[in-house]
Amino acid sequence: MKNELIEKLVREAEKSMKNSLAPYSKFKVGAALLTKKGNIYTGCNIENPSLMLSACAEKTALLKALSEDERSFRAVAVVSSAGKHCYPCGSCRQMLLEFAGDIDVYTANANEIKRYSLKELLPFAFSV
C-alpha cells in the first residue's frame, strides 16, 4: 500500500480518537478501516462502568462498515492517546479476521508506523 494512503488512514484514526469516551481509563483509541473500494470507516472506544458493555475502536469501525454493506477490506490503522503503539485486543482481532480476513494492521505513534498482518497478531484464531 502506498505511504500516502497509510498516512491518511493513520490521520483518520487520530481524528476519530478525539471522539473517544474514556472517562475511566483515560486511554483513548481511534481506528480507521479501509475497504477495497477505498472507503474509510472510523471508530473510537466508548467506555461504560460495566466494562463488558464498552466498545473498542476497531470493532466500532468494523460494525459501521458492515452495517453499510461493506464486505471487502484492505487494512486497519489503530492509534492511542498513550503515545505508544496500540494493538487490537483479542476480541477485535477475532472479529476483524472473521469479517475482514488477513488484512494489514497499522499501528502508529509520533515517530513511526508499524505494519503487521492480522494473522501475525492472531496466529491461532478460532474457526469452525
Catalytic machinery residues: 58
Query: Any idea what the Cα angle at residue 75 is, between residues 71 and 81, rounded to 5°?
Result: 120
The count of C-alpha atoms lying within 13 angstroms of the C-alpha of 54, restricted to the half-sphere facing its C-beta, is 24
Q: How far apart are CA 78 and CA 33, in angstroms?
A: 9
- As beta bridge partners, residue 21 has 46
